[in-house]
Amino acid sequence: MRNIAFRAFAAILIAASFVFSAFAAGLQDPYDVINTAAGKLFPRINNERAKIKADPLYIRTIIREELMPYVDSRFAAFRVIGTNLKSTTPEQREKFTAAFTDYIVATYADALLKYDKQTMEVEPKKPVEGKLADIGVKIKETGKDDMNLVFKLRKNSKTGEWKCYDMVAEGISLLSSKHNELAGKIRDEGIDSVSAELEKHVSDLASGKKADK
């Protein structure tokens, strides 16, 4: 189950923090967000496969540039912090958001390295009402079973911009699972400790080590 969620976590999103949002801000439709992100991310990975093979960490750069502009990582990070938010300072929240964003990038990168010539198929467009949208997609790769995902997006009431904030894989909400894992630690150990733990996990992935659970 962990492998399923880990593979899924790589597909997009949620899903992105990090941003050339001038372009992304022009996407006023959630389906456009998903299609545009997929249309940029996967072709670039496939086109730069040789460079990635020579330097596996380069895929993090691709993810930051092509995927993360479409993910609201700040909103996702604050959802993970949950009710602990009121006991943290603005500086601590910013540090956690940065660490959580780096964690998302590293996790996407590690999972996407396992793919080769993958494509994403978005469900037929349906009317969207309100400020929330769920969009189903399939990650397809020759020789592997399709992976069915649901991306959750929210519309910024001020800018009209849609961004991903969660992804559901095999019925598992990645945002909820991360909240369940970290909210208690934030309460018991403090947000600074959890931020440091996320930073260590990112470093461990970069060095080829497995982070402690």
Tell me, yes or no, whether 213 lies in a domain: no
Print the domain residue range for 81. Answer: 2-206
Residue range 101-153, pLDDT digits in tens: 999 898 878 877 876 666 778 899 988 889 999 999 887 878 888 888 898 99
Sign of the C-alpha dihedral computed for residues 24, 28, 34 and 39 taken in this order = negative
Tell me, yes or no, whether 211 lies in a domain: no
Pairing of strands 132-140, 162-169: unpaired
Nearest residue to 151 via CA among 159, 162, 140? 162
Cβ neighbours of residue 196 under 8 Å, at least 6 residues apart? 99
What is the radius of gyration, based on Cα positions, of the chain?
17
The pLDDT, as a whole number, for residue 159 is: 85
Question: What is the CATH classification number for the domain harbouring 105?
Answer: 3.10.450.710
Residue range 46-103, pLDDT digits in tens: 899 999 999 999 999 999 998 888 889 999 999 999 999 999 999 999 999 999 999 9
Say whether 128 sits in a helix, a strand or coil: coil
Residue type, 130: G
Count of structural domains, the chain: 1
Tell me, yes or no, whether 33 lies in a domain: yes
